[in-house]
């Protein structure tokens, strides 16, 4: 075949492939799915039917959606799909924690973890980016660098995978996932629209029907997006603070150099005003031995937060390979907590779960095609500092 003919044939094949690409329905909000069905000439109630099949029952095969006509099921199979990230590894810890490694588009991996608690509560820790665009010094995820943001389908797909792992659901009021925290890999507020769409599905009764108090977004402090968030959705807000002074937080959480603690507190106060109820901010504070875990640190923290309605979640540092930081002793953790109690604060200590499968807070890693070269630089520092 002449080269020109071969080129034309290749172009035609590429065009055919592009025009037959199926639309993934999994990450669509209710309104987006209504719009999709209208393009097919279908009534809007079809969106409600398909939403329930996807998110209530975990069905990804249109042929099983028995309340749709046979013709519609056939057409959907031709133009659409329900595609969650592929599970490449899963492990269940002795304490009941479940961890999945999921392959997303472009061959990268992310992790999501389901953490059991008392009263039948199961909290899913969801990732929003492949790697993390920030570089908090005490977090294993940040040392991998950053590749890209996850799509809404890849974010809500983590909830879909976790819920489906418990098998078919006959009673949709009995939720395998009762709480979701956007605390996995990545900074959620730097992937704003996909995270927003995924959280809308979490809250919607046709999706996962979770209470606004049971969906929590955790941020390192992207102040402009906190201010915007309160206009777009009402969920619980957690702040990864980890230090009470700007000097120390600049080292631990570098975004503080751009948005300092005072600016962050002001943004949080504005967010609470928009919630319209007696909400509080959760302050996440990782205790690192000899760095930020003294009783004096606790007193400075209490003073810094006195104008912000909040509760404090203390997280003993979880070590990862080649880190310079150490986990504090239990005595230091308890002394820090007691100092906050004495000053009138609610302070809880997060139980370390899943550390036997590297699923504890700050330990999540994946396979990241790092665009920042941060991972290579980190490995070089380790190599040059080795004895």
Distance from C-alpha of 26 to C-alpha of 173, rounded to nearest angstrom: 21
Token pair recorded at residue 86: 């592929």
Phi-psi map region of 72: left, alpha, beta (phi>0 left; psi -120 to 50 alpha):
alpha
**What is residue 147's three-state secondary structure?**
strand
| Distance, CA of 228 to CA of 199 (rounded, Å) | 15
Residues in the chain: 387
Ramachandran angles phi, psi of 4, nearest 5°: -65, -40
111 is catalytic: yes
Give the distance, in angstroms, between the CA of residue 138 and the centroid of all CA atoms in the same chain: 18
Selecting among 111, 154, 187, 284, the annotated active-site residue is 111
Name the burial class of residue 167, with classes exposed (0-12), middle (13-18) and buried (19+) by CB atoms within 10 angstroms of its CB.
exposed
Instruction: Considering the candidates 125, 139, 268, 361, report the single residue annotated as catalytic.
Output: 361
**21 belongs to the catalytic site:** no
Residue 260: C-alpha distances to residues 243, 245, 257, 281, 284 (Å): 11, 9, 6, 17, 16
DSSP, residue by residue, 160-227: HHHHHTT---S-TTS-S--EEEE-SSS-GGGSHHHHHHHHHHHHSTTTT---GGGEEEEES--HHHHH
Beta strands in the chain (DSSP E): 23-24, 80-81, 86-92, 98-104, 108-116, 122-125, 129-131, 146-149, 179-182, 215-219, 236-240, 281-287, 310-316, 347-349
Dihedral sign, Cα of residue 79, residue 164, residue 161, residue 36:
positive
CA angle 312, 313, 315 (to 5 degrees): 140
- Among candidate residues 379, 297, 378, 311, the one with its CA nearest the CA of residue 345: 311
Residue 119 sits at φ, ψ, to 5 deg, of: 60, 35
Q: Which residues are catalytic?
A: 111, 361
């Amino acid at each position: 075949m002449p080269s020109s003919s071969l080129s034309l044939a290749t172009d035609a094949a590429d065009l055919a492939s592009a025009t037959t690409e199926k639309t993934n329905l999994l990450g669509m909000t209710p309104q987006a799915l209504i719009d999709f069905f209208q393009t097919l000439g279908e009534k809007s109630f079809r969106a409600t039917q398909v939403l329930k099949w996807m998110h209530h029952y975990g069905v990804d095969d249109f042929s099983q959606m028995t309340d749709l006509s046979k013709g519609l099921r056939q057409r959907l199979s031709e133009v659409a799909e329900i595609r969650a990230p592929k599970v490449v590894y899963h492990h269940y810890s002795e304490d009941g924690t479940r961890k999945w490694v999921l392959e997303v588009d472009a061959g990268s991996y992310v992790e999501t973890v389901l953490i059991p608690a008392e009263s039948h509560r199961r909290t899913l820790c969801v990732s929003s980016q492949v790697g993390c665009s920030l570089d908090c010094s005490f977090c294993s995820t940040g040392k991998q660098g950053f590749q890209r943001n996850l799509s809404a389908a890849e974010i809500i797909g983590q909830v879909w995978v976790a819920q489906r792992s418990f098998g078919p659901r006959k009673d949709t009021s009995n939720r395998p996932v009762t709480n979701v925290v956007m605390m996995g890999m990545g900074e959620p507020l730097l992937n704003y629209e996909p995270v927003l769409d995924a959280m809308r599905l979490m809250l919607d009764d046709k999706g996962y029907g979770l209470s606004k108090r049971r969906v929590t977004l955790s941020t390192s402090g992207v102040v402009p997006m906190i201010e915007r968030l309160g206009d777009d959705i009402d969920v619980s807000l957690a702040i990864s603070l980890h230090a009470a002074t700007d000097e120390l937080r600049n080292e631990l959480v570098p975004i503080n150099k751009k948005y300092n603690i005072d600016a962050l507190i002001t943004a949080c106060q504005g967010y609470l005003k928009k919630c319209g109820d007696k909400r509080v901010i959760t302050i996440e504070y990782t205790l690192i031995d000899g760095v930020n875990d003294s009783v004096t640190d606790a007193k400075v923290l209490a003073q810094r937060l006195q104008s912000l309605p909040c509760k404090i979640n203390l997280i003993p540092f979880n070590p990862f390979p080649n880190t310079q930081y150490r986990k504090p002793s239990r005595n230091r953790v308890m002394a820090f907590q007691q100092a906050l109690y004495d000053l009138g604060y609610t302070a809880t200590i997060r139980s370390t779960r899943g550390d036997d499968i590297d699923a504890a807070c700050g330990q999540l890693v994946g396979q990241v095609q790092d665009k920042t070269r941060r991972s290579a630089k980190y490995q070089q520092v380790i190599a040059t500092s080795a004895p």
